Structure 1
């Protein structure tokens, strides 16, 4: 009798818990590309190609390391199209005594697997995903009894727990957070290194052909395709970031430049979220750079906070609040997602750039996601279900566990402040300060009202105005309501009129 060990497409690590205590004489590994996962939303073409190629390379490495692996390709005529169906096929061909799987990253997949024991008549062991540094139980214990959850306090506990950037029980440098040093706008003459690229081998070329054939209607450009698809290549991406980009990452992590989608960011979230890289090794690489005086503390702390702070935190919130979290809509937002989120056809240059680069790369950095793409969705009152679906579709690092808290909690304030202390709403002046987008825009960022005014300017005040009953007691934005109340009635009405004109134009299909 064999043990069947299922490895999902975002669990591409030989250290994954489902492979612990593996016995090559008695155990069988199953990996499968299934239509159900590739199409439950219309994922970006590059996202599908990246994961399928990484999965096929990982299966090859497992075989080379002595594992018995059964791998089902998407175009296999016998493919059942679902995880459950493929497990059922294996059970027909082999004598299996039990099934082991690492805890899936998405709630809907967990619900399916939890029914397998009864359906298959076999014990199914769902193991903790030990790639994360905080278990679900540990996070639940930390969150218990708290009305609001703030990442900063969680982050400090993680630093202490794992002895990262610590001097005894004190933070390195005397501060926990150097965010105030990490908000520099872009300047002329920045020498931004090119991102890591690699040539696709025969496996990748086969996958690209498959995706081109089977997913023609999906969003995004398929080529050029330059993702790392093996652990060896992913480690090179990490090394290149530490050597070439980390030094300036802190200073310019919030900056946006037209035509520079990669900036000084690490571009490792793809590989962290599918298992090719592990969080602790990334943290240790950055910490080592600081200790060896190759990168400043503000950059290293900011990078580490993204991994052991924010990444672990949103994963904790996801499992702590599901399934109710998916339905949160604090502002009762109802608008549809504008077509330009798919086409990039808009006169707002910031949105045009961010959507175009997303379409090309299946990537945008966190400020583009939060303060341009997300900020507009918040100000415009777009229904969270449409915004969540879009973010899940378009980014190659997006899985529901990381996407949903970021979008509903951080971007849209749809949970009413459980995750964030205030809505991250901003007018055009923020985008103008942190980018060069406004220079090439059809609208004038300095104008507050009228047809040629930056829409972010009047939409910002309209958002506050129409949501006053829910926000006016928030101490972090109370001053903005005092500013609005000091405006002349004519000015307030112009804000409302401009906003309604803009929304009608969007709904009519006009290019705005």
Structure 2
């Protein structure tokens, strides 16, 4: 009696529930590289390399551990191009009595899996993904009991659930739950440490790089210095390097930006977490151990753990709570097309240019570059939030729909109207100037609202508030900016509106087909 165990490209964990509960002698593990997953959006080349290389390494590790592995390569001439098609072929080959799979991380894949039992005429056992700390039923119960789904209350529940940074009497270490006020320092004057630990491509990864360059050469991004971890051993080495070298200063400078400094004190662990090479709990345990040992301050340990068990798990729960409606959300009714500079980096705005360069070169940008530079600009400019969400899904190696949709459509673009965030994350050039050194070398003057050399973020910020006044003025967290707007004279308001409109009129839109090309057509990457 054979059990077929499909393992998806973001489930590369040896402790995966479907593997943990199986008998190796009576199971076949199915790993599938399929065209549908490489092109449903036109992913950054480094993202495709990461996932395919990690899958191939994982298959080798499973075989070495005694598993029977059926591995379907992307260049297999018989490849059907879809998960469902490849499971159908595997059912024909192996005649399994059942299929066992861990729940998918993305809605569209879950919808496909739901058809398999009827399609193949055998039981399909879909297991919960217990690599996450909060099971989805628990999150839904938490959400159902509240009118406002504030992440902070969920985070505190997660701390109690895990015992991380908790005293024996049930109180938080340090006497408070959140040390975020200590984590907003501007960039340090001294340059950060060396680049994070990197990993030279081995033979498997080099083969994948050649395949991706040949098949997806027109996709966005470069593979000139691909250095991401593609095995669990490499991911654990990167975790150890982060905890030792960067975590001690991560908290203080986690929101800071420096031109040309791609990583600062950030971990670069999200790619390994999101494809399964690491679990959030082991990352948090390593973080807490460093704090207990006295090598990492509390504000850094708490801030990082909050991102892991608070925000990451919260957005996953919100994704499944809000789908499929989140996929259509557009609270502001924004329709402007994505600007071309999101692909080319050709803009005089130094902050945007550097963030796009980092994204192109590394398939990476840290959360403030994503939120308060590129995301903030898109919302202020009235860009269609679904074009923005597609762009984020394309360009970042850690991007999967379950994490990008809530972060982009909810937090960054406020397209959900406040289900996830209590106010829009909108800011003028002053915020970027405070948290970075971008403005010092920029052609635009961050202190000017209007005029030829004025920072575009300034007029766009006030214009955003003005045109969305009916939807935002009643928000209790927006009273202060509207009070400031009310103090402007009508002539000043008119100048701001004209300045914003003039800038928007000269934004060049991206060419069609950049995110979701139809059929096999290779359009602009």
TM over 0.5: yes
- With the length of structure 2 as denominator, give the TM-score of the two structures: 0.96
After the TM superposition, which segments of 4 or more aligned residues of structure 1 sit over 2 Å from their partners? 145-148, 190-193
* CA distance in structure 1 between the partners assigned to 2:21 and 2:362 by the alignment: 38
What is the CA distance between 1:210 and its match in structure 2? 0.3
Q: Kindly indicate whether the alpha-carbon contact (under 8 Å) linking 1:235 and 1:277 is maintained by their aligned counterparts in 2.
A: yes
Match of 2:187 in 1: 186
Shift, 1:318, TM fit: 0.5
Matched, 1:368 2:369: yes
8 Å CA contact 1:2, 1:26 repeated in 2: yes
Deviations for 1:178-217, whole angstroms, at most 9, x for unmatched residues? 0000000013113323111112111000000000000011
Asked if 1 retains the 8 angstrom alpha-carbon contact of 2:192 and 2:264, the reply is no
The question of 1:41 aligning with 2:41 is answered yes
| Aligned twin of 2:492 | 491
Q: TM-score, normalised by structure 1?
A: 0.98
Residues 339, 509 of structure 2: 8 Å contact kept: no
Q: Which residue of 2 aligns with 1:321?
A: 322
Indicate yes or no: 2:414 matched with 1:450: no
- State how far apart, in whole Å, the 1-side matches of 2:371 and 2:278 are: 25
Structure 2: stretches of 5+ with no match in the other structure: 511-525
Give 3-state SS (helix, strand or coil) of 2:100's partner.
strand
Q: Which residue of 1 aligns with 2:342?
A: 341
In 2, Cα distance between the equivalents of 1:320 and 1:418?
Answer: 11
Q: Could you list the per-position Cα deviations for residues 465-506 of structure 1 after superposition, in whole angstroms to 9, with x for gaps in the alignment?
A: 000000001111112111111111111001100011011111
CA offsets 1:310-336 (integer angstroms, 9 cap, x no match): 000000000111111111111111110
Aligned to 1:409: 410
Mapped to 2, the partners of 1:241 and 1:181 lie a distance apart of 20
Give per-residue Cα distances to partners, 1:150-174, cap 9 Å, x unaligned. Answer: 1100000000111110012111000
* CA contact 2:340–2:509 (8 Å) conserved in 1: no
CA distance in 1 between partners of 2:9 and 2:341 (Å) = 31
Contact persistence 1:336–1:382 (CA under 8 A): yes
- Distance in 2 between the 1:346 and 1:183 partners? 27
Per mean C-alpha deviation after superposition, the further-off stretch among 472-481 and 131-140 is 472-481
SS of the aligned residue for 1:397 comes to coil
Q: Is the 8 A contact 1:148 1:417 kept in 2?
A: no
The superposition leaves residues 438-464 of structure 1 with CA deviations (integer Å, 9 ceiling, x where unpaired) of: 112111111111121000000000000
> What is the rounded CA distance, in whole Å, between the counterparts of 2:66 and 2:509 in structure 1?
60
The structural deviation recorded for 1:392 is: 0.4
Give the aligned partner of residue 154 of structure 1. 154
- The number of residues matched between the two structures is 509
CA contact (8 A) 1:140 1:316 kept: yes
- 8 Å CA contact 1:427–1:456 kept in 2: the answer is yes
Q: Does the CA-based 8 Å contact 2:192-2:265 persist in structure 1?
A: no
Equivalent-residue separation in structure 2 for 1:331 and 1:307 (angstroms): 30
Identify the residue that residue 481 of structure 2 maps to in structure 1. Answer: 480
- Specify every segment of 5 or more residues in structure 1 that has no aligned partner in the other structure, as ranges: none
Residues 166 and 172 of structure 2 are in contact (CA less than 8 Å); yes or no, is this contact kept in structure 1? yes
The reply to whether residue 22 of structure 1 matches residue 46 of structure 2 is no
Cα RMSD (Å):
0.9
Aligned to 1:136: 136
Shift of 1:73: 0.7
Counterpart of 2:243?
Answer: 242
Aligned equivalents of 1:500 and 1:95: distance in 2?
63
CA distance in 2, matches of 1:247, 1:302: 11
